[in-house]
Amino acid sequence: TQTGGKDLEHLDAPAWKESLENCVKLFRTLEEVQEDRAAERAALVGDGSDEDEVEEEDIELNEGELPDLIEEAQMLEWAGTGFGQTEAYRLQLALKDLLESQPLQSVRLFGKIFGTKSDYIIAECLFKDGEGESDAEGEAEEEGDVVDEDGSDAEGSEAEDPHAVPVPKVKPPVTVPKEQREGVNKYTYFVCSHVGDEWRRLPSVTPEQIMAARGIKKYFTGDLYADVLSHPPFPGTEAHYLRAQIARIAHACTVSPRGFFVSDEDEDDPTLSKNDEFEELNAEELLDLNNWVHHEPKILLQGRTKHFAPEEEEEEEEEPEEEEDEDDEGKIPKPKPTPTPNYLLPEEEPPLLEAVGDDEPIVEETHPAWTARLCRQLTSDYACVSVVNHKWPGACAVARGAQFANIYIGYGHKWTDTAYTPAPLPEVQEEPASKHEKADPTVEAEAEFEKKDDPEEGEEEPNSDDSEDED
Amino acid sequence: TQTGGKDLEHLDAPAWKESLENCVKLFRTLEEVQEDRAAERAALVGDGSDEDEVEEEDIELNEGELPDLIEEAQMLEWAGTGFGQTEAYRLQLALKDLLESQPLQSVRLFGKIFGTKSDYIIAECLFKDGEGESDAEGEAEEEGDVVDEDGSDAEGSEAEDPHAVPVPKVKPPVTVPKEQREGVNKYTYFVCSHVGDEWRRLPSVTPEQIMAARGIKKYFTGDLYADVLSHPPFPGTEAHYLRAQIARIAHACTVSPRGFFVSDEDEDDPTLSKNDEFEELNAEELLDLNNWVHHEPKILLQGRTKHFAPEEEEEEEEEPEEEEDEDDEGKIPKPKPTPTPNYLLPEEEPPLLEAVGDDEPIVEETHPAWTARLCRQLTSDYACVSVVNHKWPGACAVARGAQFANIYIGYGHKWTDTAYTPAPLPEVQEEPASKHEKADPTVEAEAEFEKKDDPEEGEEEPNSDDSEDED
Amino acid sequence: MDLAEFPSNLEQVGPFGFTLNPEQRAAMQASLSQLKANYKFSRVIFWGRVSGHSRDYYIAQGFDSDLLRGKRTFVSQSLTRWAQLPEVTEAQRVRCEGLAGLYTGDLSYQYVIVEEVMPWEPPKEKKERGSDDEESEEESEDEIIGDDDEDEEDEDEEDENATYRKLPKKKTKLRRHRITEEVRLAALVNSIDDDTSVVPRGAALIDQADRVSMNSHFQGLSSKEAGNLSFYLHFRPPRVVPKKTLLEKSRLNMAIDFLDRIDEDVPAGSWSIQYDGTGTTASVRSLLWPGYIAYHCPGSRRFGAIYNGNGVRNADIGFML
Amino acid sequence: MDLAEFPSNLEQVGPFGFTLNPEQRAAMQASLSQLKANYKFSRVIFWGRVSGHSRDYYIAQGFDSDLLRGKRTFVSQSLTRWAQLPEVTEAQRVRCEGLAGLYTGDLSYQYVIVEEVMPWEPPKEKKERGSDDEESEEESEDEIIGDDDEDEEDEDEEDENATYRKLPKKKTKLRRHRITEEVRLAALVNSIDDDTSVVPRGAALIDQADRVSMNSHFQGLSSKEAGNLSFYLHFRPPRVVPKKTLLEKSRLNMAIDFLDRIDEDVPAGSWSIQYDGTGTTASVRSLLWPGYIAYHCPGSRRFGAIYNGNGVRNADIGFML
């Protein structure tokens, strides 16, 4: 009857049917999963040489920690968030599938970031020791789905794109090295658009990307390979921007009741571990923001959790023990760092397990960054307590007794009290002092010159700024 | 457009509006409850003498144990039963209201028994020591809602009802005394039709009623005062029949994971108490029927949980220490007990905490009375285990870790494999040998008598049963 | 309970003790959507649950465009995969009615029914076997026992039925029928559907071509109507209506009153109707099939029904009212 | 989200991060039913949640028989009791637009807005005060400060606003307006309703008497249509349609196309449309008001919308696409 508007890509029915099948497939029993895996592997190896080695008995599913998402969903429901119990169950199956197919030690549902074309369901994973790094490369070749590990390749492809908006490449003078399997890259994130879709691994994040992400505010599209057209330019694709925002959210909003984790006081490198002697906090105690602590370290100005102080040499040391390819930017000779940018100035690493009550407030005195709420009004003996973060709308944690859960569901942007103003264009650089340029003589001057043609009026007019502005 | 059928009594809108208001009222805050209570009391006392004594500060709400019905509902949902979480929340508020208004030590949701006109929501309550008995009488006068404590009154009113079907009153030759605040009368039950309605207290149950209830099968109507028209006659109204069925269900179907309760081995009178050192059973263990035990004693043939052996005297001893009025039947002189009825024969009291696996099966060998089921197929690390009772369809228990819940939702009847046959009418009693009755002389005989009028044919015809049958 | 309204209507039946857990809800939403797509059904309903001893059966039904005719019934235990239930022959139906006891929860469980072969039957049965192709499948499961031949193929079965095998010595011929629980379940669903399938009056329409469809104009019963049994109809091929007199029919709106009214059922009193506390939902319950509950929210298009029982018809209803 | 479809549609918005807990669901079902009965609304919808710093606001709306006109908005924090939000005057609306920052969660919180009194304004304001009865309430909350009289009645308030009181020394007259959070919230709901209120095309009808009602014949959009922004309309008094040329209008079905299409909104690109994974639900999201989500299940009458955000209009949308 009517036309116009843009059609959805999703619209073809076969795609849905497949998606529905994927969703139903999640409900396979263990035996069915093993059969399917065996079939998959057989198909893969079928092209290879030794088919005899692959037998059904070989299929071992990875085992690891996976929380009960239903229970979490029930708690989060008290806080008015989460996905509801039915969806939580589907998510649980999807996470279970991920856990069984990768050498993961633990998986947690991070949450969801909305995109304009499709959303990202995000799983936060910890690889088993020694796993993960090499796999990523292998799979990148194998499946073609995994986004490359470092941002430089993506940038390269961006540069090759003839349609890309030419943005001035302002390189930070000193590259802060990336954290490897620690700090902001402690966890690996996998994303998918819908429950049942294939999980895609996000690249690890560079300090540069985190710093750049702080300066921009873009809607996600749902396409990991989409360019991030922004000013200042973002060093990477949407996958990297997504990863950077996830890191910012994770390190700002992942909290737990005080005492659930304890830090092993290992001088320089304190790590957290579960507290076996954790005493459950009651609702009243949980309503005190000082009883909620961050268990992920804060990200410093320089985009790392551990401060990196550049040595005063031209050439910074590359982290030598990592085998994987380093950022290309690291090798670009940098202009002399004068003055030292803010992010290289010494900055104190805040203590681990800092109370959320100490977070920088939204409005001093009146509006702290977090609010704790009792989630049940009338029969509060069994009440959960939630803490919501106002800086990252959509971030919420909830606890009851010895259980707690964190989630983020939102557009992936930090709260701004004022309208977002893109960073101003860099100041127009000083015009180099014109050494030889002369003002075009005016007609009168010329006439005069021609008329007089004597050296008594050799002075030129002063250089005028107006001409600059009009360029 | 069309007429016919019977209209509902409920149909008038004002009744609903009130019901809706009652339902909304449940969500009052504590302060509002106290205000309302104060107002109620003020209104009551307003008619009395000393108004000054009643101040708002006097209103103290009773405190006691009330489980978290939402959590129970979530567990029961895994077993496919319960009322759903929203309804559970409403029920929680209704039970809370009951708990706060009566001197109760604990309240539990027993379940629901369906009636043809309305249903019974049933709360199982334990009064605080020394409370409950006297209250009942007081309230009976006060509110007129509470059904009288003993069945005899109800029978009395039944007898007065001119429309009642005259049923032969077959009294058991020996009355087994009622258990007081123990055994089948350990708990007091309150019922209401809809959440938000006033709770009504059910009478305690007599052994006679339990024995009678076993022999009949009637749909409940939803009206506590309705007569139970049955054969054999039931000694009481629907309230008593309901109470008897609840007792039968409660003592057959209330189960818990082994070890949750322990019995204090107090020689003759072992009582159960919570086991502080209870070790949680995992799902696999809970799937073994031997790890589920009854924590309410079985009801014996005679309708008590503790065996009562009548002394061989004409007059049984009344339980002397109880103040409340005894059953009238107890005082009726009984015919000599020959032969001793089954229920007076010695019967062994089964041990406390008997495993449900030892219950009498539905079908020997193949169909035990209970089935244990794992309630989660795919991510069974967090699974609940349910045990369903097949003898009382609608009875179910579910456990996970240290938590368990019992519920009954059904029509209140025991499973019968064969069609129910009402007990046969008692054998027609022997006609007393007719001592003086004579058959009416036939016309011929009379004529003959008149004709002859001599004493030679003095013999009478033998007494004929036929004439009796034709009366 | 209509699939489209599925999670909502689930909340309606909670107060009657029927719930599904998140696993089941999630699995069912996906698998029923798939069922609907694969069979191109115009409507899929979740029918209910028949509890068995070891496991329960969940039943769903799919409808072709004519709702009264093309109906298929599916069973599932996991709620992930649905298997179509077989058609039930008249002979099987009669035999199933004789079966008592709980469902086992195993679809392949075989009930053995021993019937006396009437002197006039065997030839008739043989004729049937030859003439009626549809029944051949079923009949092949039956064997005549007591004849002293052709029993070799199921030696192992004979022991079980040893008690029955002694009987033929009396020279009465007995026939042993085997009925799987699958067939018994299919017969049960048919029986319940026949006796129940309650819809509010006006929810279904019949057109000039005798095609039955859902009435898209249906706006629900009024509060008064919804509490009256005579405003509920059996959604099954009508039996009573065609027998009505012309005078009676003249009072009916034949587009919507082509179905039988439930208050005309025999025995009378086999239905109970109630409102919930707030008057938002009326429930109609079968006392003949305890566990069958139909509901309707007056003033809305919302109605549905569910069976949640152990598959036993209440033969005692006459004594129980 | 329609009350009648309430629990079901709640499941629809779970994937967008909006849930209600059992307490809230139970309370809301009862209290909204009561609201509907008390005000005799033809339709009650749950509108959404505006998160505040300390507590959240839940919003519901009730409609009289003409759905586009008689609409009342209610707010609740407990979900047990609903209070009607006040009407917002144009002056209040403009002032509210200047307010930034999170909602506090306290309806009685007062925002103080200090405006410069333009030399030509005071007489105008006095005129208004006399002439316009409706505004008198609001205007009485405002005071002209800087005049050295008539400030006695609120001594305690003056301390708070000490900083502002120093300004008048410049001899510029300043007026202090107080806006309660209640008014700000009412203005917010109006603004969001103006910009969103998305319904699928055909769900609403206008009759010859210009009365707007829900279309009881609406059978849902097709799958293809449901994925197309041009099949969604603003359920608000139309602005664009009346300005269309006759030629353009000739292509419309005026019974259902009397509303503005959302794909004609300015700025373009302020809407995002997606299908869920299984193609059963299409969601339309506002990028201008992040948190507003409308959904529709193609082929069914089911549609609805919800707002779940912190009440901040995305002023940055131009940079973010």
Alpha helices in C147-303 (DSSP H): 155-160, 162-166, 181-195, 223-226, 246-250
Per-position DSSP letters for C115-134, written without gaps between them: EEPPTTHHHHHHHHHHH-HH
**D306 is written with which tokens?**
């919800």
Per-position DSSP letters for B263-282, written without gaps between them: EE--TTS-EEEE-TTPPPB-
- Look at A37 and D230; give whichever has higher pLDDT: D230
Residues near B43 by Cβ (< 8 Å), separated by ≥ 6?
Answer: none
Is it true that the peptide bond before C267 is cis, omega within 30 degrees of 0? yes
Cβ distance B395 to B253 under 8 Å?
Answer: yes
Q: Does residue B329 surpass a pLDDT of 90?
A: no
Strands of C38-184, DSSP E: 43-51, 56-63, 71-76, 83-84, 110-116, 143-145, 174-180
Tens-binned pLDDT, residue by residue, of chain C (321 aa) = 665 566 567 778 888 999 999 889 888 888 888 888 889 888 889 999 999 999 999 999 998 887 888 889 999 998 888 999 999 999 999 999 888 888 999 999 999 888 877 666 555 444 444 444 444 344 444 555 554 444 444 444 444 444 444 444 456 678 888 899 999 999 999 999 999 999 999 998 888 888 888 888 888 998 889 989 999 999 988 888 888 887 777 777 878 888 899 988 877 889 999 988 777 889 999 999 999 999 998 888 889 999 999 998 888 888 888
Q: What is the mean pLDDT of chain B?
A: 76
Per-position DSSP letters for A338-370, written without gaps between them: -SPPGGGS--PPPPTT-BGGGSPPSBTTTB-SE
Q: Which residues of chain C have a CB within 8 Å of the CB of D11? A: 7-8
**Model confidence at B288, in pLDDT bands (50, 70, 90)?**
very high
* Burial degree of B1 (CB within 10 A; 0-12, 13-18, 19+): exposed
Q: Does residue A145 surpass a pLDDT of 70?
A: no
pLDDT in the model for residue A51: 47
* Burial degree of D191 (CB within 10 A; 0-12, 13-18, 19+): middle
pLDDT in the model for residue C132: 42
Q: b or e along A394-409 (b: 16 or more beta carbons within 10 Å of the residue's beta carbon)?
A: bbbbbbbeebbbbbbb
| Mean pLDDT, rounded, for A50-71 | 72
* Burial degree of A15 (CB within 10 A; 0-12, 13-18, 19+): middle
Report the residue from C6, C30, C278 with minimal CB separation from D33.
C278
- For A186, A389, C215, D51, D109, the CA distances from D54, given in Å and listed in that order, are 33, 11, 48, 8, 12
CB contact under 8 A, C23 and A89: yes
Residue in the block written with tokens 């629901």:
B112
For D187-197, write each residue's pLDDT tens digit.
999 999 999 99
Cβ distance D10 to D25 under 8 Å?
Answer: yes
**B135 is written with which tokens?**
């209250």
Helix, strand or coil, per DSSP, at residue C288? coil
Other C-beta atoms within 10 Å of A439: how many?
Answer: 13
Mean pLDDT: which of A371-380, B162-171, B325-334 is highest? A371-380
Mutation for testing the D interface, residue in C11, C43, C276, C281 having most D CBs under 10 Å: C11
- Look at B441 and A260; give whichever has higher pLDDT: A260
Cβ distance B114 to B121 under 8 Å?
Answer: no
CB contact under 8 A, B382 and A68: yes
Mutation for testing the B interface, residue in D33, D40, D82 having most B CBs under 10 Å: D33
Q: What is the ipTM of this complex?
A: 0.80
Q: Which residues of chain D have a CB within 8 Å of the CB of B29? A: 78
pLDDT in the model for residue B178: 87
Residue in the block written with tokens 């194998």:
A142
CA distance D152 to D171: 20
pTM attached to this predicted model:
0.80
Which chains have 3 or more CB–CB distances shorter than 8 Å to chain B? A, C, D
Give first-to-last CA distance, chain A, whole Å. Answer: 52
CA distance B465 to D250: 100
pLDDT in the model for residue A374: 92
Cβ distance A356 to A294 under 8 Å?
Answer: yes
Q: Which residues of chain C have a CB within 8 Å of the CB of B218? A: 319-321
Phi then psi dihedrals of residue A296, to 5 deg: -115, 140
Q: pLDDT over 70 for what percent of chain B? A: 68
Q: Which residues of chain C have a CB within 8 Å of the CB of A70? A: 22
Cβ distance C74 to C61 under 8 Å?
Answer: yes
Q: pLDDT over 90 for what percent of chain B? A: 36
Mutation for testing the C interface, residue in B77, B367, B414 having most C CBs under 10 Å: B77
Alpha helices in B161-214 (DSSP H): 207-214
- Look at C84 and A144; give whichever has higher pLDDT: C84
Of A153, A296, A357, A351, nearest to A237 by C-alpha is: A153
Cα torsion C63, C67, C73, C77: sign: positive
Q: Does residue B92 surpass a pLDDT of 60?
A: yes
Q: Does residue A451 surpass a pLDDT of 50?
A: yes
CA distance C308 to C263: 22
Cβ distance D205 to D212 under 8 Å?
Answer: yes
- Four-CA torsion D205, D211, D214, D215, nearest 10 degrees: -40
Distance from CA of C204 to the nearest CA of A (A): 29
pLDDT in the model for residue A366: 82
pLDDT in the model for residue B147: 45
Element (H, E) at D37: helix D22-39
**Model confidence at B37, in pLDDT bands (50, 70, 90)?**
confident
**B396 is written with which tokens?**
């179910």
Of A91, A86, A87, A83, nearest to A66 by C-alpha is: A91
Distance from CA of C251 to the nearest CA of A (A): 42
Residue in the block written with tokens 């919804």:
C226
Q: Which residues of chain D have a CB within 8 Å of the CB of C33? A: 278, 280
- For A209, A306, C313, the CA distances from A171, given in Å and listed in that order, are 12, 22, 81
CB contact under 8 A, B93 and A379: yes
- Look at B439 and B409; give whichever has higher pLDDT: B409
Listed by number, the residues of chain B in 96-115 with a beta carbon closer than 8 Å to a beta carbon of chain A are: 96
A-chain residue closest to C33, CA distance: A20
Helix, strand or coil, per DSSP, at residue A419? coil
pLDDT in the model for residue D293: 93
Q: Which residues of chain B have a CB within 8 Å of the CB of D27? A: 24, 27
pLDDT in the model for residue A420: 61
If you count residue pairs, one on A and one on C, with CB atoms under 8 Å apart, how many are there?
A: 39
Of A98, A148, A153, nearest to A123 by C-alpha is: A98
Of D275, B232, D55, nearest to A9 by C-alpha is: D275
Alpha helices in B26-165 (DSSP H): 30-46, 69-78, 85-101, 133-143, 151-160
Q: Which residues of chain C have a CB within 8 Å of the CB of B16? A: 275, 277-279
A237 beta partners: A227
- Look at A174 and A137; give whichever has higher pLDDT: A174
For D277-319, write each residue's pLDDT tens digit.
777 889 999 999 999 999 998 888 889 999 999 998 888 888 8
Of A62, A145, A59, A137, nearest to A107 by C-alpha is: A62
Give first-to-last CA distance, chain C, whole Å. Answer: 28
- Four-CA torsion A9, A13, A17, A20, nearest 10 degrees: 60
Mean pLDDT: which of A386-390, D139-143, D166-170 is highest? A386-390
Mutation for testing the D interface, residue in A3, A6, A7, A8 having most D CBs under 10 Å: A8
pLDDT in the model for residue B471: 43
Q: Which residues of chain C have a CB within 8 Å of the CB of D30? A: 278
pLDDT in the model for residue A426: 67
For A390-407, write each residue's pLDDT tens digit.
999 999 999 998 899 999
Residues near C256 by Cβ (< 8 Å), separated by ≥ 6?
Answer: C201, C202, C204, C205, C206, C215
CA distance D1 to D48: 8
B-chain residue closest to A64, CA distance: B381
- Look at B9 and A435; give whichever has higher pLDDT: A435
Q: What is the mean pLDDT of chain A?
A: 76
pLDDT in the model for residue D210: 82
Q: pLDDT over 90 for what percent of chain A? A: 36
Helix, strand or coil, per DSSP, at residue B239? helix
CB contact under 8 A, D229 and A19: no
CA distance B344 to B333: 17
* Burial degree of A230 (CB within 10 A; 0-12, 13-18, 19+): buried
For D112-164, write each residue's pLDDT tens digit.
888 877 666 555 444 444 444 444 344 444 555 554 444 444 444 444 444 44
Residues of chain B whose beta carbon is less than 8 angstroms from a beta carbon of chain D are 17, 20-21, 23-24, 26-29, 70, 73, 85-90, 93
pLDDT in the model for residue B390: 92
pLDDT in the model for residue B163: 57
CA distance C273 to B8: 8
Cα torsion C129, C131, C134, C135: sign: negative
